């Protein structure tokens, strides 16, 4: 590499470190679970995975992945339209469609791909995207790749959304795009009101259900189901990499015409290898588990309610909400980071989030519940949180 380039990249890395936003990666030496082993050999209780239903190391899901290797091989070494489509891909797409009560589904290697490949495939210069200001990076990137006019509404502000819809009335097609659940705050989009406005202003609704699929709504169909609008949301994108087992993979599900267009035009689908068949096979098992019992969902919500209520009773300042994401507000980035370190010393693995991931002055520790947490795990964490918070003088 030329010296000038090396110097430039080093400067940039130094600037990231200087800004305090350099991300270190901690190495886990065990399977993903509520109780994990880290490189030091210590065991810690994990409160920062998206392993909402505890399926990341579920024996039946892992067995289905192994069966998938035996039956379909390790990989297909092809994009879908050349020679990369196996029966297991078609079966998973069909079952995801049935689960979400939609016409058809298209698989991707990630939800990031599903979102970045969505807008430019179905919209052109004559169209408009109306996007929540706090949408996930993958929606933002997807919007950037598309030539449609862009409108941004203030986070979950329905008056602002209506204004943008009015401004976009000349467009040929209007798409409202929103996260179903916003991951930094754990707040749920006002999907019922969004669907009302979409109807009034003749717009499509696209919802990213990554932090909701599998556990929100009576059947685990996401925030759309929880808000009673599954049939009014046109397109759902989501991930196989969180509640649905935590491997990799994503999908978009919706009307036939849209999914057909995505198969023809969506670049992360057309120009990227097919999802590994073992993941597709294991995901079928996940869907079976989701539909055969409510037990994991109930456990997750029970854990979330217990943890939130106890923290509140002990004087913690929480973002209001009702989701397994529980943000403990500390405001000061240094205090938040120090508390996360102190908690790790106590065997509680949590992450502090500060600017630019969250707004300046809104640093927090984001706790994520899992159905795999036992009451003993939660009580140990609650006691550690209380001790550390008292030591830092942040309880009210």
Ligand X SMILES: Cc1ncc(COP(=O)(O)O)c(C=O)c1O
- The residues that touch ligand X, with contacts defined as CB under 6 A, are 110-112, 115, 136, 138, 179, 183, 208, 210-211, 239, 241, 250
CA dist., res. 62 & res. 66, Å (int):
6
Residue (181 or 350) nearer to ligand X, CB: 181
Active site residue 354: no
CB of 357 to ligand X, least distance (A): 12
Which residue is catalytic, options 136, 242, 373, 377? 242
Per the structure block, which two tokens stand in for 45? 């209780």
- Closest to ligand X by CB, 217 vs 339, is 217
Is residue 242 part of the annotated active site? The answer reads: yes
CA gap 45, 352 in Å, rounded: 16
Residue 114 CB partners (closer than 8 Å, separation 6+): 106, 108, 138, 237, 238, 250, 251, 252, 268
Number of residues that this document lists for the chain: 396
- Of 354 and 389, which has the nearer Cβ to ligand X? 354
Least distance between ligand X and beta carbon 216 (Å): 13
Taking the complex as a whole, how short is the minimal distance between the CB of residue 202 and ligand X, in angstroms?
A: 26
Closer of 222 and 241 to ligand X (Cβ): 241
Q: Catalytic residue at 336?
A: no
If 0-12 CB within 10 Å is exposed, 13-18 middle and 19+ buried, where does residue 383 land?
middle
User: Whose structure tokens read 């392993």?
Assistant: 51
Residue with the CB atom nearest ligand X in the bound state = 110
Alpha-carbon distance of 360 to 214, in angstroms, equals: 32
Q: Say how far apart CA 371 and CA 377 lie, in whole Å.
A: 11
Catalytic residue (one of 211, 323, 373, 377): 211
- Give the nearest distance from C-beta 113 to ligand X in angstroms: 7
Positions annotated as catalytic residues are: 183, 211, 242
């Amino acid at each position: 590499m030329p010296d000038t380039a090396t110097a430039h990249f080093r400067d940039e890395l130094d600037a990231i470190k200087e800004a305090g936003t350099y991300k270190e990666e901690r190495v886990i030496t065990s399977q993903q679970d509520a109780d994990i082993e880290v490189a030091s050999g210590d065991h810690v209780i994990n409160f920062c995975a998206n392993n909402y239903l505890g399926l990341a190391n579920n024996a039946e899901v892992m067995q289905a992945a192994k069966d998938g290797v035996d039956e379909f091989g390790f990989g297909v070494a092809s994009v879908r339209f050349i020679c990369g489509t196996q029966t297991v891909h078609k079966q998973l797409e069909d079952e995801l469609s049935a689960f979400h009560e939609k016409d058809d589904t298209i698989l991707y290697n990630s939800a990031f791909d599903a979102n970045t490949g969505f807008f430019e495939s179905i919209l052109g210069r004559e169209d408009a995207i109306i996007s929540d200001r706090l949408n996930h990076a993958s929606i933002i990137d997807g919007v950037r790749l598309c030539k449609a006019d862009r409108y941004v509404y203030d986070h979950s502000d329905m008056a602002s959304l209506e204004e943008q819809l009015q401004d976009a009335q000349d467009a040929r097609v209007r798409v409202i795009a929103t996260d179903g659940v916003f991951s930094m705050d754990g707040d749920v989009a006002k999907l019922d009101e969004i669907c009302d406005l979409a109807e009034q202003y003749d717009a499509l609704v696209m919802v990213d259900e990554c932090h909701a699929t599998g556990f929100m709504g009576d059947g685990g169909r996401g925030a759309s189901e929880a808000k009673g609008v599954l049939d009014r949301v046109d397109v759902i994108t989501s991930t196989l990499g969180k509640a649905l087992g935590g491997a990799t993979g994503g999908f978009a599900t919706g009307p036939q015409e849209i999914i057909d267009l995505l198969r023809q035009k969506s670049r992360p689908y057309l120009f990227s290898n097919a999802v590994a068949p073992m993941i597709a096979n294991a995901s079928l098992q996940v869907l079976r588990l989701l539909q055969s019992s409510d037990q994991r969902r109930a456990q997750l919500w029970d854990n979330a309610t217990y943890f939130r209520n106890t923290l509140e009773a002990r004087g913690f300042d929480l973002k209001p909400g009702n989701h397994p994401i529980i943000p403990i507000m500390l405001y000061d980035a240094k205090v938040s980071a120090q508390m996360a370190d102190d908690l790790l010393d106590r065997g509680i693995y949590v992450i502090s989030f500060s600017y630019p991931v969250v707004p300046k002055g809104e640093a927090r520790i984001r706790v994520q519940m899992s159905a795999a947490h036992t009451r003993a795990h939660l009580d140990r964490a609650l006691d550690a949180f209380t001790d550390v918070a008292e030591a830092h003088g942040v309880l009210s």
